[in-house]
Structure 1
Amino acid sequence: MRRRWLMLALGTAAQTAACAFVYGVPYLAAELRDAAHLTLPQIGLLIACPAAGLVTALVAWGAVADRYGERIVIATGLGGAAALLAAAAGAATDGGGVAAPGALLALAGAAGASVYSASGRLVMGWFSAGERGLAMGIRQTATPLGMGVAALTMPPLAAAHGVRGALGLLAAVCGIIAGLVALLAADPARPEPGPGAPPAANPYRGSATLWRIHGAGALLVVPQFTAGAFALVLLVDTRGWSAVGAGRLIAVAQVLGACFRIAAGRWSDRVGSRLRPMRQLAATTAAVVAAAALTAAFPSPLTAAVLVLCIGITASTNGLSFTATAERAGPSWSGRALGVHNTGQNLTAAVVPPLSAALISATGYWPALAAAAAVACGAAALVPSDTSRGPAVVSSVP
């Protein structure tokens, strides 16, 4: 039974490495501008490439994981991403513009999508129903952890060794973890269909439960990315903080968000439900983000504290939505369902910052936060009730 914790560690490490390179390119912007002589629009294009590649491949990788298992998908995809990142490291500094490095980064993102679709399956299959919430909460801390690792390592590496050295380190980390997954990971046991048994039923047919979970999960990205993307400049503009001081506070808030994810998962295990805590946390998110809007409209010493709580609570539902998706989809469909869920969340994450920035520029910070609070209310209403139950993931462990 201890083996399941090794699977959790491998899945979390793989997800952290994938997040680090997908979200790590922005931290190379200064070096790309100064050393590679790229313009800001060119740098923006490169920043978007890994995420663009990611969303195109999530569902396809999920289907492969459903058929062939998690270990081979994670190892192959992350290993491919390592090779592509190594190639991008050279292309980004050869003076040939953005076409070649952009294509390579997009392909690396598409390869890394394997981890997003399969590592959740790996974790879910090894833990029983009474532990999955906690396990997936821990696994979902990989996103802030990966972003934090990138923020801490990319700028100094780029300054000391250039873009080639920074991307080279990401490639090496991805390659090492891919090797560990190939050597140490084991696919969880799956129920074997009997002779002549029909294929597993499509969980999307005859029920809107999964679509409602996907929709609610995507809507909850709106307050999360609105608060996370603009809290720093809000403190600088309305409270006169320095960017360095505000950045440190945001880092603390991201740690709080990781803790909230773990606590929410453990709560769902104790109450035997993913959706009821998800709905209650979505409603709480709406209230906290509304309070943040109020403190943005009337800045005070409370503004910073409310923003920290806001960033923390908006991250709390992430693991619950993924766990609910996999459990409702069942072992034969969870890879594809997680791919669909990831696609919706990542597409929403891509459009929220520019839309929120436009709203802030036109009206100010508090209307953008108020709009995000209203979206969280809609998400709470969209979360399905526990009376609509689908198949659960089989909890047997090899």
Structure 2
Amino acid sequence: MSLDQRPTAPVRTVSTARRWAMLVASTLAQAAAAVMVHGPAFLIPTLHDREGMSLAQAGLVAAAPTIGVMLTLVAWGWVTDRRGERFVMLIGLSATTVAGIASALTGGLILLVVTLFLAGAAAASTNAASGRVVVGWFPPERRGLAMGIRQMSQPVGVGIAAISIAVVADGHGVHAALWVPTIACALAAVLAAAVVIDPPRPERKAGTAVTNPYREDSYLARIHGVSVLLVVPQFLVWSFALVWLVQDRDWSPAAAGTVVAIAQVVGALGRIAVGHLSDVVGGRMRPLRWVALAAAATMALLGLTAALDLAVAVLLVVVATLVTVADNGLAFTAVAERAGPFWSGRALGAQNTAQFLAGSAVPPLAGLAIAQWGYAAAFAIAAIFPLVAAPLVPVREERELS
């Protein structure tokens, strides 16, 4: 019997309190992983000013965990499909902690890059596994809200990293700062061990082949494509909002950072609201199309008001942060629902890999556009991508939630 044909455990039920506890554990696991993956970016000033690294070398350190994530997302999804969510979360978070300890104790550029790469590769485990815990334990009519809460993890993790890692690195050095994500992942592993249970899977017969959902229709492929298009304005705003406020609007870095932090909080709350909306309307794709159209309109208005140097442009950058991240939970939930319990790990891995690849290309290409035409033009150009995405959203192909 192959791993993919192993007998399923008897269907279990859990209390409402346990279900929400698993949501908390999944959210914190993903947030801890986000601190590990995105945190090294906040070491760049210290690496450059105190450690004597060039900006290119410091950038390599910051990129190492992200590269590790991109290369292992699908593999972790494959393991999740076969061994279960709890196994992957515990192994992945434990390995992330070990790699984090190594990064905090090591010295030299090469060892730092290698250990952070391994930490990112291990941290990728939480993406599919924690998402599937939420999808598996929450009923369809509550799943959008639950996944919206879980999707808060990334902006929360980035916010924690921005505040803690930068402060610790400035006061005590790079290696001391790396204990922040390491401890966070260790605590997340303990919490996951205490409360997470693999969600039930439907009974399967030995020898029965698992249907590849990608061969049934283009539904999943279209969601992946739509998500890639919607990543463009999201990463543009995330990467350049602070720089735009400082360079074009003459704000102080502290004031600009405050606005960006507020925007991240608003974006996190927006994910919850849109997820709940999808529960109310009984589908993920209609709200996803609405989000795409709203993102196109907001980015176009941001470009126009930035070109005219209007004060309302600052408010619009906050709105843009809210709107451009609102699609993530909808798409993630829809992929898991359509792929099913025996394929959703791989499908979610493919979803995240596509987004990471597209997102990594946005900052350098957007930087070239800004250098050539300015921030306003870059914002306006970004409106094209969600406008193209809107008609591609497979609204008619979505099945009844189950």
C-alpha separation in 1, matches of 2:50 and 2:103: 15
Seen in structure 2, the aligned counterparts of structure 1 residues 2 and 386 have a Cα distance that, compared at 3 Å, is: farther
Which of 29, 52, 55 aligns to 2:70? It is 55
1:396 is aligned to none
2:323 is aligned to 313
Contact 2:285/2:398 (<8 A) preserved:
no
Seen in structure 2, the aligned counterparts of structure 1 residues 236 and 34 have a Cα distance that, compared at 3 Å, is: closer
C-alpha separation in 1, matches of 2:249 and 2:167: 29
1:45 is aligned to 60
Aligned residues: 387
C-alpha separation in 1, matches of 2:322 and 2:204: 43
1:274 aligns with 2:284: yes
Deviation at 1:184, TM superposition (A): 2.1
Alpha-carbon displacement from aligned partner over 1:301-358 (angstroms, at most 9, x marks no partner):
1111111111111111110010011011011111110000000111111110111011
1:207 aligns with 2:222: no
Aligned partner of 1:223: which letter? P
Alpha-carbon displacement from aligned partner over 1:225-270 (angstroms, at most 9, x marks no partner):
1122112222223322212111111111111111110000000000
Across the aligned residues of Structure 1 and Structure 2, the Cα RMSD in angstroms comes to: 1.4
1:127 aligns with 2:129: no
C-alpha separation in 1, matches of 2:387 and 2:30: 29
For 1:50, what is the secondary structure of its paired residue? Answer: helix
Deviation at 1:195, TM superposition (A): 5.1
C-alpha separation in 1, matches of 2:247 and 2:51: 32
Which residues of 2 match residues 288-367 of structure 1 at below 5 A?
Answer: 288-367=298-377
1:220 aligns with 2:230: yes
2:240 is aligned to 230
Which residues of 2 match residues 58-69 of structure 1 at below 5 A?
Answer: 58-69=73-84
C-alpha separation in 1, matches of 2:134 and 2:299: 31
2:251 is aligned to 241
Which residues of 2 match residues 2-13 of structure 1 at below 5 A?
Answer: 2-13=17-28
Deviation at 1:289, TM superposition (A): 0.7
2:172 is aligned to 161
Gaps of 5+ in 1: 394-398
C-alpha separation in 2, matches of 1:270 and 1:313: 19
2:11 is aligned to none
Gaps of 5+ in 2: 1-15
1:151 is aligned to 162
Contact 2:298/2:316 (<8 A) preserved:
yes
Which of 102, 110, 116 aligns to 1:99? It is 110
Deviation at 1:388, TM superposition (A): 4.4
1:75 aligns with 2:90: yes
1:173 aligns with 2:184: yes
Deviation at 1:182, TM superposition (A): 1.9
C-alpha separation in 1, matches of 2:395 and 2:357: 25
1:380 is aligned to 390
Q: Say which is worse superposed, 152-161 or 127-136, in terms of deviation.
A: 152-161
Deviation at 1:60, TM superposition (A): 0.6
TM-score with structure 2 setting the length: 0.94
2:5 is aligned to none
C-alpha separation in 2, matches of 1:251 and 1:176: 25
Alpha-carbon displacement from aligned partner over 1:278-305 (angstroms, at most 9, x marks no partner):
0111111100110001011111111111
Deviation at 1:208, TM superposition (A): 0.6
Aligned partner of 2:38: which letter? Y
C-alpha separation in 1, matches of 2:206 and 2:179: 49
Which residues of 2 match residues 12-23 of structure 1 at below 5 A?
Answer: 12-23=27-38
C-alpha separation in 1, matches of 2:200 and 2:398: 26
Aligned partner of 2:221: which letter? W
C-alpha separation in 1, matches of 2:53 and 2:385: 37
C-alpha separation in 1, matches of 2:118 and 2:245: 37
Aligned partner of 2:233: which letter? P
Which of 177, 189, 192 aligns to 2:200? It is 189
Deviation at 1:52, TM superposition (A): 0.3
Deviation at 1:189, TM superposition (A): 0.8
TM-score with structure 1 setting the length: 0.94
Aligned partner of 2:190: which letter? G
Contact 1:72/1:182 (<8 A) preserved:
no
